[in-house]
Structures are given as structure tokens and as C-alpha cells.
Amino acid sequence: MRAIRAQYSRRGPVPETLIEPVEVELPPLQPGEARVEVLAAPINPSDLLTFTGEYGSLPPLPATGGNEGLGRVIEVAGDVDGLQVGATVLLPVGCGSWSTHLQLPARALVPLPEGADPVQLSMLTVNPPTALLMLRQLVPLQAGDWVIQNGANSAVGGYLIQLARERGIRTLNVVRRASAVAAVREAGAEHVLVDGEDLPERVAAIVGKEPVRLGIDCVGGLATERLAHCLGEGGILVNYGAMSGERCMISPRCFVFRDLTLRGFWLAQWFRRANPEARYELFAELAGKVASGALRARVHAVFGIARIRDAVAAAARGERHGKMVLCPNV
């Protein structure tokens, strides 16, 4: 059986010039394997950083793009039990999901609810767990507590708004451009602010004397310090990205006089530490929310694999409202 993969054999500053569709012959199924038709796979910022060589974990070259996605089982090896042909499955992280078909260990595939939107389910592995774990594990938040995040128009930002609202946690949502405000409001955010030097004063006008206990930064640069100045004494500021391309900048005064903590979060580290039961419970919880429609991400456009360069170029542009998703078999 032949498959088409979106492959790259070198790294460089312009991702869309590196990737191209390549036809390959799939080998016969080996014991314990399943053959999967890929239904949908998103294009994430981490994918683009993998092309440029700036991500924390880089696959050997040549490599197939795509770190997450959704598939349908079309064939299983004779010794595979418990996985049925036709099942909808979550693909394992880092499998090279930008492909029409994959052959994978059956035990690495997670069956998901039938009948849900495959595009929404395809985005389950990276951004929803990042949002949920940052809300759940860093600070013991209660209903009514305040959280501030920048990059609120990102996929993680949208999921965080929805997950926080479900728990009664109040969010302050910061964006870098005024044109992004409407989309964040449509995601359910009550408070949306355009970043700027007076951000701490505007935040204080909203929260009054109530402390902001958690700050979530994916921008870096001086945006990190502006978030820090919005936090209450003893607050936690977590960074999970650098959309500005700059290192986090923050004054020692925040640490010394206000007892703030700056730490990082990388989902891959959590996956390495968590046991299989914890990973399964996390995905089951999030899959249920996505399947019910309680958790959704905005989608800007869907592309077939023949247009992978257009898809990557569109994902790299800043002026968009939603995720670019590859549906390889359309």
C-alpha cells in the first residue's frame, strides 16, 4: 500500500520551503501493528519550531511533520486484540501525523468516542492538556480566583478560557493586537486586554484588591514582566512559549520584594513522568469534553496534503484566527 507523507530533510528559517509531499510504500504489517488512515492533524507552533531547529526535541532527518492527530483503523495484525477495524483512534505523540496512512503499534493507539468532529478530536493531544495541567497543577485554584494569560488568542489560550470558566475561575486575557479581541470574546472571555505598558494598571482596575494568583506567559520578552506586575504577592508565573522570539525578561524586584515564582511548563516533561493510567485519564476527560462540544478550538482553514506548503505558510503567519488543520485524505 502506498502513502503520501509531508517530509523535510533539512532545517531552516522558512518552514514552508522545507516541506513537501513524498510518496512511500508501506511495508507489510508486523505483529502488534495497526494500519491507520489519518483523518486530521493540526499544525502547531511546535511543528514550525521543529523545522527551524528551535524546539526542545528534534527528530532525526529526514522526518515527517506532525506531532498529533486522529485516525481510523483500516487493518490490524493477526495477533492484535481489543482494537477493531473502523475504530477512531488518537495517534501517539511525535508519530509524523502529516501522512495519509501510518503503521503504528496497536498498543499506542487510544480509541476515542465515535461521532465527534474529527478535526476537533485531532487537536486533543497537545494544547488541551497544556491548558488543563497549567490550570490544575501549578496553583490550587478555587472558583472565583483570578488567572491572567497572554497569547489569549492562541489555541492553548482558547482552551484555557473554556476550562477555567467551567470551574468558575475568572480569567484576564491579554492579546498583542486589537484585531484579536473579538475572537477571544467569541471564545467566551469576559475580560480581554491589549498588551501595553499600562497593563498592570488596567488589570488592577478590574480585580480591585483581589490577587491574581497565576500568570501564564507564552510570549516572553518584556511581556513576561508586565504579567508579573499583574500578580499578587506570592503569585506563580509560568512560561510555556516564546512567541516574541525573545527570552523572558523580568526584574529581580518581582522575586525579591513580591515573592513571585517564575517557572516553565513543557507538556513533554509531564508525559515522561506520568504513568499510563494518568495519561489515559487525562485524554479520556478531555475527549469527553470535546465530543460533547464543551471544548472547542477555532479552525481557520483545512488543507489536503498536496497543499502542505500553503498550509505551513498560513500557520506561520500571525494575522489569523484559528488553527490550520491538515486532512491528508481529502
Q: Share the mean pLDDT of the chain.
A: 94
Helical H runs in the chain? Answer: 45-52, 118-121, 127-137, 155-167, 181-186, 199-207, 222-228, 252-258, 267-273, 276-292, 308-316
Share of residues in the chain with pLDDT > 70 (%)? 99
Whole-number Å distance between alpha carbons of 184 and 157: 9
Cβ 170 vs Cβ 144: under 8 Å: yes
**Confidence at residue 330, expressed as pLDDT on a 0 to 100 scale:** 87
**Confidence at residue 319, expressed as pLDDT on a 0 to 100 scale:** 67
Q: Where are the domains of the chain?
A: 2-123+297-326, 127-268
**Confidence at residue 172, expressed as pLDDT on a 0 to 100 scale:** 98
Omega of the bond leading into 62 within 30 degrees of 0 (cis): yes
Render pLDDT for 41-57 as a digit per residue (tens, 0 to 9).
Answer: 999 989 999 999 988 88
C-alpha cell at 84: 477493531
Render pLDDT for 91-139 as a digit per residue (tens, 0 to 9).
Answer: 999 999 999 999 999 999 999 988 889 999 999 999 999 999 999 999 9
**Confidence at residue 96, expressed as pLDDT on a 0 to 100 scale:** 96
Whole-number Å distance between alpha carbons of 36 and 179: 40
Q: Is 225 exposed, middle or buried (0-12, 13-18, 19+ CB in 10 A)?
A: buried
The CATH class of the 2-123+297-326 domain is alpha beta
Render pLDDT for 245-271 as a digit per residue (tens, 0 to 9).
Answer: 899 999 898 888 889 999 999 999 999
Catalytic hit among 8, 55, 159, 280: 55
Whole-number Å distance between alpha carbons of 111 and 225: 42
Judged against a pLDDT cut of 80, whether residue 58 lies above it is answered with yes
55 is known as an active-site residue: yes
CATH of 127-268, picked from 3.40.50.2300, 3.40.50.720, 3.40.462.40, 3.90.1150.10, is 3.40.50.720
